[in-house]
Amino acid sequence: MNTYGRFPLELVRGKGVWLTDRDGRRYLDAVAGIAVCTLGHSDPVLRRRLCRQLRKLQHVSNLYRIPEQEQLAAAIAARSCADRVFFCNSGAEANEAAIKLARKHGHDVRGIERPLILTAESSFHGRTLAAVTATGQPKYHQGFEPMVEGFRYFPYNDTVAFEALLKQCEAEGPRVAAVLLEPLQGEGGVIPGDPAFFRRVRQLCDERRILLIFDEVQIGVGRSGRWWGYEQLGVEPDAFTLAKGLGGGIPIGALAVKDAVDLLRPGEHASTFGGNPFACRAGLTVIEEIEKRQLLPHVQRMGERLEHLLAELQASHPTLIEGVRGWGLLRGVVLREGGPTAPQVVQAAMDEGLLLVPAGTRVVRIVPPLVIRPRHLRTLVKRLGRALERVG
C-alpha cells in the first residue's frame, strides 16, 4: 500500500554503522532504523544468538511459560524501577497497553466513570487509534476522526499550563487517570524534558493518585547514555513503555510497571506474538551486550563528542543552524526558519553518503547505532556540513 513516502534508496546489506545499497555505494547510518539497531547492523553476537535460538524454538504463544520472556522481564526489572513487564510487538502496542492500564487504574483505583489521560503537545505515541489520539499533533489525527475519547493536551515542559489543565479537569471531582509523557520528545523535534517540570508533575500525580507513565520507546535502552530517559530527569514513573532499541532490529515492545500498579488480570490484555522466545532472545542479547561492551559510558562520551562537533558546525553555519539539542546519541539539529527544510537536508546528506531522519520540518534527527566511534562522528559531521552547503 502507498503508506510511505520513501527515499529513492534500496539498501541490501550492512555492517556496524555502515549500509550498502544495491549499486555498492556505502552510507554512514545515523538513523539506525529510527533508533532501533542498537548494536549496529549484522552484529556477530546478535546473529549467533538468534541463529542458536531458531535451532531451539521461535514461538509457542503465551498459553505456556516462556523462559526467555521471564529472563528478559527480570533483566529489565533489575535495571529499572519496574517490577513486572508485559511484552508485545511495537511501541504503539506498548502504549496501547499503557492506555488500557491507565483506564483500569481510573476505574478501579480512582472511581472514575470516564477517565482522562493528559498528554503533551508535539508528542508522538504511535499510529494505532488510541496511541495516535494520545499523540499531541493534529496532523496525525486528520482523516481518522472521530478520535478516541478521553485525552487532553498541554504544552510540553510548561508547568503552569499543566497545572491549569489538571485543575480544570479535576474541578468537579476525579477525572484524570494518568499522565503520559516522553522524557525526551523525539518525533516532536528532539526536545529534552525539563527536570523541574517533571518533578512537579510527579508531585501532583502522587497527591491525586494519578499514574505517571513514560513513553521510553525512542530514548530508552541506553540511547541517552543511561538505561532509561527518566534517569536524566531524576523522576521515576509508575510505568513506562519500550520498543525500538530493545530488540536491536527484531520487533519487540514492552510495558514495564511497578507492583503497585500491576492491575491487568488474566484475560484483560494479551498478545499472540508478544514476548516470544526469538524476540526475547534478541532483547536479552542487546541488554547483555550493552553491559559487556560498556556502551552506557561509551554513549555518554560519544554524545558529548557529537555535541561538541555539532556546536562547531553551527558556528560555521550560523545562518542555517539555530541550535542543537538532545541527550546522548539522540540529537537534533534545529534549522532556522526561512532556510532549507529538514527533509531537504536529509536528501542532500544522502547524496553525500550519510543517512539522517527528519523530526518535523525544521529538525534533523541524528540517532546512530550505539556502537558508533569517534572517527564515524567526524565523518558524520563533515558530510552533514557538505549537505548544508548543498542546500544552503
Average pLDDT on 287-305 reads 98
Cα first-last separation, the chain: 35
All cell numbers assigned to 362: 525544521
Is 124 an annotated catalytic residue? yes
The dihedral sign for the CA sequence 143, 148, 154, 157: negative
pLDDT of 188 over the 90 cut? yes
Strands 116-120 and 176-181: parallel
Q: Are 197 and 159 in contact (CB under 8 A)?
A: yes
Q: Give pLDDT, residue 253.
A: 98
All cell numbers assigned to 324: 542543537
Is 194 an annotated catalytic residue? no
Could you say which of 198, 240, 244, 278 is catalytic?
244
Q: Give pLDDT, residue 176.
A: 98
Q: Give pLDDT, residue 94.
A: 98
Is 382 an annotated catalytic residue? no
pLDDT digits (tens, 9 = 90+) for 323-371: 999 999 999 999 999 999 999 999 999 999 999 999 999 999 999 999 9
Q: Give pLDDT, residue 6.
A: 92
CA dist 120 to 125, 138, 161, Å?
10, 12, 10
Average pLDDT on 239-261 reads 98
pLDDT digits (tens, 9 = 90+) for 98-144: 999 999 999 999 999 999 999 999 999 999 999 999 999 999 999 99
C-beta atoms surrounding 196 within 10 Å:
12
Give the integer Cα–Cα distance in Å for 178 and 107: 11
Closest CA to 94 of 351, 332, 259, 271: 271
pLDDT of 172 over the 90 cut? no
CA dist 19 to 369, 376, 386, Å?
12, 13, 20
Q: Give pLDDT, residue 186.
A: 97
Are 11-42+294-391 and 46-292 in the same CATH fold? no
Average pLDDT on 185-209 reads 98
Q: Give pLDDT, residue 108.
A: 97
- How high does pLDDT run on average in the chain? 97
pLDDT of 3 over the 90 cut? yes
All cell numbers assigned to 83: 517490577
- Binning pLDDT at 50, 70 and 90, where does residue 392 land? confident
Could you say which of 215, 238, 240, 278 is catalytic?
215
**So where are the chain's domains?**
11-42+294-391, 46-292
Amino acid at residue number 220:
G
pLDDT digits (tens, 9 = 90+) for 253-285: 999 999 999 999 999 999 999 999 999 999 999
Could you say which of 29, 43, 87, 124 is catalytic?
124
Q: Give pLDDT, residue 179.
A: 98
Q: Find cell 533489575 and name the residue.
A: 78
pTM of the entire predicted model: 0.97
From the options 3.90.1150.10, 3.40.50.970, 2.40.10.10, 2.60.40.1120, give the CATH code of 11-42+294-391: 3.90.1150.10
pLDDT of 52 over the 90 cut? yes
Q: Which CATH architecture does the domain made up of 46-292 adopt?
A: 3-Layer(aba) Sandwich (3.40)
